[in-house]
Amino acid sequence: MSHYHIKSEKQYQEAYLESVKNPEEFWAQIAENFQWTKKWDTVLNFDFSKPEINWFQGAKLNITENCIDRHLFERANKTALLFEPNDPSEEAAHITYQQLHDRVCQLANVLKDKGIKKGDRVCLYLPMVPELAISVLACARIGAIHTVVFAGFSASALAARILDCDCKLVVTSDGAFRGSKTIDLKSIVDNALKNCPNVKTVLVVKRVHSEISLTENRDLWLQPLLDKAEKTCTPEVMDAEDPLFILYTSGSTGKPKGMVHTTAGYMVYSAFTFKNVFQYEEEDVYWCTADIGWITGHSYIVYGPLANGATSVMFEGVPSYPDYGRFWDIVQKHKVNQFYTAPTAIRALAKEGATWPSTYDLSSLKVLGTVGEPINDEAWHWYDEHIGKGTCPIVDTWWQTENGGILITSLPGITKQIPTFATLPMPGIQPCLMDENGEEINTTEASGGLCIKFPWPSIARTIWGNHDRYRDTYFSAYKNKYFTGDGALRNAEGLYRITGRVDDVIIVSGHNLGTAPIEDAIDEHLKVSESAIVGFPHDIKGNALYGYVTLVNSLSTSSETETNQLKKEINDLISAKIGPIAKLDKIQFTEGLPKTRSGKIMRRILRKIASNETNNLGDISTLLNPEVVEKIIEERL
C-alpha cells in the first residue's frame, strides 16, 4: 500500500510507524510516485558525524520533468501558476502547464546561450512575477544552481551572496511594484555588481517600464531573447545528489549561510509534504503568500505544488494594498481552497478589524496554514474565527530553511490540532528534546532543545563552501543529532509546541535575523564603539529589535536632535548593509554593555531589560561591570 496520500489518522500512524521502523522501504515507496530517468541503487547512506547524507544514490532525474513535463498528458491546459498582480485592476494571468513548459524551456535556452552550464550558479533577484518561478525552473532544467535573493535585500547583501557562491549571471527586473510604491531593483543590482566582476550577464525583465540604464556587454532585456528561443529544451540528466539550489539564511554569527539543497530528496519531500499538509485535491486552488525569495516560496509555491500538478497562486503585492481586504479579495476572486501565510500577516490584518474579511466570500477555503514563527493564541483564534469561520482546520507548520520542507505539523482534519502547537512530526521525522546536560529526555512531558535524530530526504547537505561550519552549527551541539536551534515543549500526549529560538537568531515579522551581522553593520559607524542587539515582544512583528549602543571615547549625544540624527544614521547603515527588515525599533545609547569576566556580552540581561522583565535579572554580581546594568535599566526606552 502506498503512503503517498495520507487520508486518516490511522493511515498517519501506520505511515509514521513504518517510516521509523523501515525508513528506506518507506521512502522508496514514496519515491515510486515520481518520474526517474534511472532509479536509485541505495535509498539512504548517512553519517551525522561527518556529516554526510545521501538519499536515492545512483538515481538520475530532472526535477522539471516531474514538475512540468509529466503533467502534460493530463493537465496541459490546467493552470499551473495563477499570477495575481500588485494592481487589482490588472488582469490575473493563468499560466497553464503547457505554457509553463514552453516558457521554462525558452528561458533555459537563453541561459544556455549565455554560456550557463550544469553546476554554474545563477542569482535571481526579482519581484514576485511569473519570471521568478520560470527562472527557478529554467535553471533546474539545465542543471544550473539557482540562488534566489529576496528583493528586499540591499546591494551589499546581494553582492555578498553573489560573491559567496560565485554567480555568473543575474536575472533581475527594471523594478518592482510594491503596493503604491515602485522599487528600483536594477540600480540595486548595478551597485552590487560593482564588486562582482565574475557576473558577465544580467538579464532584465521589463515589469514597471521605468527608464533604466543598461550596461553595455552585460545587461540585456530578457523578452526579445525569449521571443527568439525554442520552446523545447532537453532536460539535463541530474544525479540525485546534484545541488538544485543554494538559499542563504542568517546565522547567529558571521556571514549568511548558503544552505545547499540537492535534487531527488528535496523533490520527494517537498512534494510529499505539500500533498498531505494541505490535502491538495486535483481541482483545488492553493495559495501561499510567501515570497519565493524564502524557502517557503521555493518548497510551497514552486516545487511542492507543481510536482503534484497543482494550481499555485503567486501574488505580487502586499496585504495592505489597495486596502486591508486585498488577501480576502484574492481568496474570493480565485476561489482559493488552501491558504498559507505567516503569523505576522495575521496579526497585522487582525489589527485592522474583522470587517475586512467579513465583506468577502471566503467559503471556498478548506485548509488554513501558518509558518515562520510561533503563532500566539490570539492570532490563532482570529484566524480560526474570521477567516476559517470555525470550520477550516489550521496547520501550524514548523520547519526551517535548512530542512527543505515541513517537519512538524498537524494534518488538516486528520490529526489533532491545538492552538499554538505544531503538534506531530511528519512521517520520517524523529524529533527529540535535549536537557541541559546534553542528554535526550525520555519522559513524554518535557521541554528542551529540539533535535532531529534521523535524516529525512530534504535536509540541507552542506553550507556552500564551508562544510566545517555546517557540521559545527548543526551537528556538534549533540552527538549524532541535528540541532534546530529552537526550544520546544512536549505535552503528555506527545504533541510539540515550539517555544522559540535558543540562540542569537531573532525572528522579526517571520524573518530570520542573526544579531551578529546587524551588530557588525552598526559598528561600522565611526562614532560607534560597540553594540548589542536583542529581541523584545512586539504586537505585530512578534519580535522587534532593541539595540544597545556605546559610542567611541565615551562620547555622549548632547542634544535630542543629535541623538535622533545618530539613530537615523545607524538605521540607514543597517538598511544599506542588510535591508530595511533589520532596522531597529529602539536604540539606547549607553556608557557600557554588561560583560562577563571573559568579556562576553551578557545578552540574557539585555534581553530582559528590553522586555521590561527587570525584576528577575538573576545573579549579576559576577559581571565585570555590574554598575552599568542599573544605569541601563534607568534609561530604558
Residue appearing with cell numbers 532536460: 235
The dihedral sign for the CA sequence 110, 112, 118, 120: negative
Assign 82 to helix, strand or coil: strand
CA 556 to chain centre: 40
What residues form DSSP beta bridges with 490?
Answer: 446, 496
With CB under 6 A as the contact rule, which of the stretches 21-29, 173-181, 369-377, 561-569 interacts with ligand WT7?
Answer: 369-377
DSSP letter for 326, please.
Answer: H
Residue 131 in the binding site for ligand WT7 (CB under 6 A): no
Residue appearing with cell numbers 545587461: 219
Closest distance to ligand WT7 from the beta carbon of 583 (Å) = 18
* Dist CA 97 CA 72 (whole Å): 7
For residue 192, the one-letter residue type is A
Question: Residues 64, 106, 279, 401: which binds ligand WT7 (CB under 6 A)?
Answer: 401
Question: Residues 498, 518, 549, 551: which binds ligand WT7 (CB under 6 A)?
Answer: 498
Closest distance to ligand WT7 from the beta carbon of 259 (Å) = 8
Environment class of 488 (CB within 10 Å of its CB; exposed 0-12, middle 13-18, buried 19+): buried
Our CB check for ligand WT7 shows the closer of 159 and 379 to be: 379
Counting residues that bind ligand WT7 (by CB under 6 A) gives: 21
Residue 507 in the binding site for ligand WT7 (CB under 6 A): yes
Closest distance to ligand WT7 from the beta carbon of 602 (Å) = 22
Residue 397 in the binding site for ligand WT7 (CB under 6 A): yes
Q: Which of 413, 400, 391 is nearest to 281 (CA)?
A: 413
Residue 257 in the binding site for ligand WT7 (CB under 6 A): no
Task: For residue 578, give the C-alpha cell.
Answer: 542588510
With CB under 6 A as the contact rule, which of the stretches 102-110, 187-195, 391-399, 623-631 interacts with ligand WT7?
Answer: 391-399
- CB atoms under 10 Å from CB of 374, counted, come to 22
Residue 4 in the binding site for ligand WT7 (CB under 6 A): no
Closest distance to ligand WT7 from the beta carbon of 399 (Å) = 5
Our CB check for ligand WT7 shows the closer of 374 and 594 to be: 374
Residues between 412 and 431 that touch ligand WT7 (CB under 6 A): 422
With CB under 6 A as the contact rule, which of the stretches 111-119, 392-400, 515-523, 595-603 interacts with ligand WT7?
Answer: 392-400
Residues between 269 and 298 that touch ligand WT7 (CB under 6 A): 295-296
Question: Residues 175, 325, 374, 431: which binds ligand WT7 (CB under 6 A)?
Answer: 374
Starting at the edge strand that comes first in sequence, how are the strands of the sheet with 367-371 ordered? 93-96, 79-84, 311-315, 285-288, 338-341, 367-371, 394-397
Question: Residues 152, 372, 412, 547: which binds ligand WT7 (CB under 6 A)?
Answer: 372
Residue 535 in the binding site for ligand WT7 (CB under 6 A): no
Question: Residues 13, 29, 400, 529: which binds ligand WT7 (CB under 6 A)?
Answer: 400
Residue 371 in the binding site for ligand WT7 (CB under 6 A): yes
With CB under 6 A as the contact rule, which of the stretches 77-85, 152-160, 396-404, 597-605 interacts with ligand WT7?
Answer: 396-404
Closest distance to ligand WT7 from the beta carbon of 249 (Å) = 5
Question: Residues 512, 531, 571, 590: which binds ligand WT7 (CB under 6 A)?
Answer: 512
- CB atoms under 10 Å from CB of 635, counted, come to 12
Closest distance to ligand WT7 from the beta carbon of 372 (Å) = 5
Our CB check for ligand WT7 shows the closer of 498 and 605 to be: 498
Our CB check for ligand WT7 shows the closer of 130 and 372 to be: 372
Assign 145 to helix, strand or coil: strand
Closest distance to ligand WT7 from the beta carbon of 396 (Å) = 5
Query: Between the CA of residue 581 and those of 130, 485, 635, what are the distances in Å?
Result: 24, 21, 26
- The answer to whether the bond into 85 is cis (omega within 30° of 0) is no
Residues between 478 and 497 that touch ligand WT7 (CB under 6 A): 484-486
Residue 249 in the binding site for ligand WT7 (CB under 6 A): yes
- The answer to whether the bond into 51 is cis (omega within 30° of 0) is yes
Q: Which of 333, 418, 350 is nearest to 341 (CA)?
A: 350
Q: Which of 498, 138, 434 is nearest to 302 (CA)?
A: 138
Closest distance to ligand WT7 from the beta carbon of 432 (Å) = 16
Residue appearing with cell numbers 519515491: 31
Residue 398 in the binding site for ligand WT7 (CB under 6 A): yes
3-state helix, strand, coil in the chain (%, to 5): 35, 25, 40
Our CB check for ligand WT7 shows the closer of 529 and 611 to be: 611
Task: For residue 112, give the C-alpha cell.
Answer: 544556455
Phi/psi of residue 350, nearest 5 degrees: -60, -35
DSSP letter for 189, please.
Answer: H
Residue 396 in the binding site for ligand WT7 (CB under 6 A): yes
CA 614 to chain centre: 34
Residue 251 in the binding site for ligand WT7 (CB under 6 A): no
Closest distance to ligand WT7 from the beta carbon of 460 (Å) = 10
Our CB check for ligand WT7 shows the closer of 40 and 496 to be: 496
For residue 618, the one-letter residue type is G
Assign 540 to helix, strand or coil: coil
Question: Residues 3, 161, 326, 501: which binds ligand WT7 (CB under 6 A)?
Answer: 501
Q: Which of 123, 137, 58, 56 is nearest to 95 (CA)?
A: 137
With CB under 6 A as the contact rule, which of the stretches 95-103, 211-219, 307-315, 371-379 interacts with ligand WT7?
Answer: 371-379
Assign 423 to helix, strand or coil: strand
Assign 248 to helix, strand or coil: strand
Residues forming the site for ligand WT7 (CB under 6 A): 249, 295-296, 371-374, 396-401, 422, 484-486, 498, 501, 507, 512
